[in-house]
């Protein structure tokens, strides 16, 4: 596989690799490094890719594993959290503040989800992967993926509802 064929193979999903790394590592710089590492590993094994079924699934699995290893390493404590790029610059100041608060609450809630639920939610709701693809990447059966996603969404919904109801109980 030459360079042009390699680029053609990875182009459709390289942004997904970055977004998954970004979700797991939070820092843009760390996500860029992770994406580069995964792409270098793919390049180094480019001859093996031709016989492999889904290069995208392999890349996403490699990304997940690399990021989890990074989080477990000593360097994980040195990673910065950066949220400044999530606001809508066209909205008014009050809307920007509300959006930022909502995003921060969603991030906090998602951070507290079990790792498996967090990854599944990222792949399904953000990356738009099919359940079959997620099951392959996560090495799970599709039913387990659906159950984990349902639980993650339910937790997110319940926690966001609590946050936005400002302590007012709905009976």
Residue-wise pLDDT tens digits, 136-145: 989 999 999 9
Looking at the structure, tell me whether residues 54 and 99 fall in a common domain: no
Domain of 72, in residue numbers: 1-82
Looking at the structure, tell me whether residues 144 and 168 fall in a common domain: yes
Q: Tell me, what CATH number does 18's domain have?
A: 1.10.1740.10
Alpha helices (H) in 52-141, listed in sequence order:
55-72, 93-112, 115-121, 131-138
Q: How far apart are CA 78 and CA 62, in angstroms?
A: 22
Residues of the chain with pLDDT under 50: 74, 76, 80-89, 169-171
Under 8 Å between Cβ of 86 and 100: yes
Looking at the structure, tell me whether residues 6 and 36 fall in a common domain: yes
Under 8 Å between Cβ of 113 and 24: no
What is each CA distance from 117 to 7, 86, 125, in whole angstroms?
Answer: 31, 22, 11
Query: What per-residue confidence (pLDDT) applies to 117?
Result: 92
Q: Tell me, what CATH number does 120's domain have?
A: 1.10.10.10
Q: How far apart are CA 23 and CA 113, in angstroms?
A: 13
Looking at the structure, tell me whether residues 126 and 63 fall in a common domain: no
Q: How far apart are CA 18 and CA 147, in angstroms?
A: 26
Residue 87 lies in a domain: no
Query: What per-residue confidence (pLDDT) applies to 75?
Result: 53
Instruction: Name the pTM for this structure.
Output: 0.53
Residue 88 lies in a domain: no
What total of structural domains would you count in the chain? 2
Looking at the structure, tell me whether residues 70 and 142 fall in a common domain: no
Domain boundary residue, one of 53, 82, 111: 82
């Amino acid at each position: 596989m030459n360079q042009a064929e390699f680029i053609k193979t990875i182009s459709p999903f390289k942004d997904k690799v970055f977004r998954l790394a970004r979700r797991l590592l939070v820092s843009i710089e760390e996500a860029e490094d992770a994406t580069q590492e995964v792409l270098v590993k793919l390049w180094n094994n480019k001859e093996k890719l031709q016989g492999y079924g889904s290069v995208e699934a392999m890349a996403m699995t490699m990304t997940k594993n690399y990021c989890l290893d990074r989080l477990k390493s000593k360097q994980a404590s040195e990673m910065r959290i950066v949220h400044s790029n999530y606001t809508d610059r066209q909205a008014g100041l009050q809307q920007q503040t509300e959006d930022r608060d909502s995003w921060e609450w969603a991030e906090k809630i998602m951070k507290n989800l079990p790792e498996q639920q967090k990854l599944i939610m990222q792949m399904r709701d953000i990356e738009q992967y099919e359940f079959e693809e997620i099951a392959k990447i996560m090495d799970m059966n599709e039913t387990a993926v659906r159950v984990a996603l349902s639980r993650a969404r339910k937790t997110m919904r319940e926690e966001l509802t609590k946050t936005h109801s400002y302590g007012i109980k709905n009976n």
